Amino acid sequence: MTAPVFVVEHFNAGGGGHYVLDGPEGRHAVSVKRLQAGEDVILTDGAGRWADCVVLGTEGKDRLIVKMDGVTEEPVEQPRITVVQALPKGDRGELAVETMTEVGVDAVVPWQAARCITQWRGDRGLKALGKWRSTAREAGKQSRRVRFPEVADLATTKQVAALLARADFAAVLHSDFEHGSQALATAELPDEGEIVLVVGPEGGVAKDELALFEEAGAKTYVLGPTVLRTSTAGTAATALLLGRTGRWS
């Protein structure tokens, strides 16, 4: 089994490469995971830097003492995949972030689409955004990633269009073959740069939104003959793209 991952803010080890993992992460390692001397762990800053470590022992209920062998930086993989996720109902947004993180998405942009039932306003919006970011962090740890996906601030439709205009491959999932959508599985993808994929809300992408995105250079694509929920479409599409770009090979 792959070693468990814990998040740290720095990698400043003391004499002999000894490092003390404390705070909430240390408490989780000692009191929940109950790690023992000799077991392997990975420390990461969530931004690509990580270190293989071996547990030396514990102090109290929230301090894990490890020996750090050295710090490595994982290169940024190409092409980078960003999913613009329209706000789903209830806790389905957190489900979308969790599963997209597990498969390997690089960034998630929450989008307030015209047909979104959920509205992020004021403190409620800040709390919801915080949950998405916390979900990405925890899912990153669970899936043994050392570079967690970025979760951006809530975007407007115009901001999404600007993001699509800068992309090397811009796609909008749209389950309407009559609109001229092609299969994402047959699209020509770049070897590097930025792939931006838009996932609409439960009611679909509005016509004026679609027109704006197409004006920005995006094309419409379908995943297959079935219609997926907005909370699962991004995960399925990300997995397809990771496989087709060779990042999963």
State the CATH number of the domain containing residue 41.
2.40.240.20
Report the C-alpha gap between 229 and 102 in whole angstroms: 18
Co-location of 85 and 133 in the same domain: yes
How many structural domains is the chain composed of?
2
Residue-level pLDDT at 8: 94
Instruction: Write out residues in the chain with pLDDT < 50, as ranges.
Output: none
**Token pair in block for residue 89:** 């109902």
Co-location of 49 and 105 in the same domain: no
Residue 15 backbone phi and psi in degrees, to 5:
-60, 135
Residue-level pLDDT at 178: 54
> Are the CB atoms for 133 and 101 separated by under 8 Å?
no
In a domain, 69, yes or no: yes
- Name the amino acid, one letter, at 27: R
Burial label, 212 (beta-carbon count in 10 A; 0-12, 13-18, 19+): middle
Co-location of 150 and 188 in the same domain: yes
**Token pair in block for residue 182:** 């092609």
Determine if the peptide bond prior to 201 is cis (ω within 30°).
no
pLDDT tens digits along 183-194? 999 999 999 999
Residue-level pLDDT at 1: 52
> Are the CB atoms for 119 and 112 separated by under 8 Å?
yes
> Are the CB atoms for 20 and 26 separated by under 8 Å?
yes
Q: Where a domain ends, among 27, 42, 73?
A: 73
Co-location of 105 and 214 in the same domain: yes
Beta strands in 167-249 (DSSP E): 169-173, 182-183, 194-199, 219-222
User: Which of 184, 195, 172 lies closest to 225, judged by CA?
Assistant: 184
In a domain, 14, yes or no: yes
Q: Where a domain ends, among 20, 54, 73?
A: 73
Residue-level pLDDT at 181: 77
DSSP state of 21: E
Beta strands in 5-48 (DSSP E): 5-7, 18-21, 40-44
Residue-level pLDDT at 156: 97
Q: Domain range holding 66? A: 5-73
Co-location of 230 and 171 in the same domain: yes
Co-location of 189 and 103 in the same domain: yes
Rounded CA Rg of the chain: 20
In a domain, 249, yes or no: no
pTM higher than the cut 0.75: yes
Q: Where a domain ends, among 20, 42, 73?
A: 73
pLDDT tens digits along 207-241? 999 999 999 999 999 998 888 999 999 999 999 99
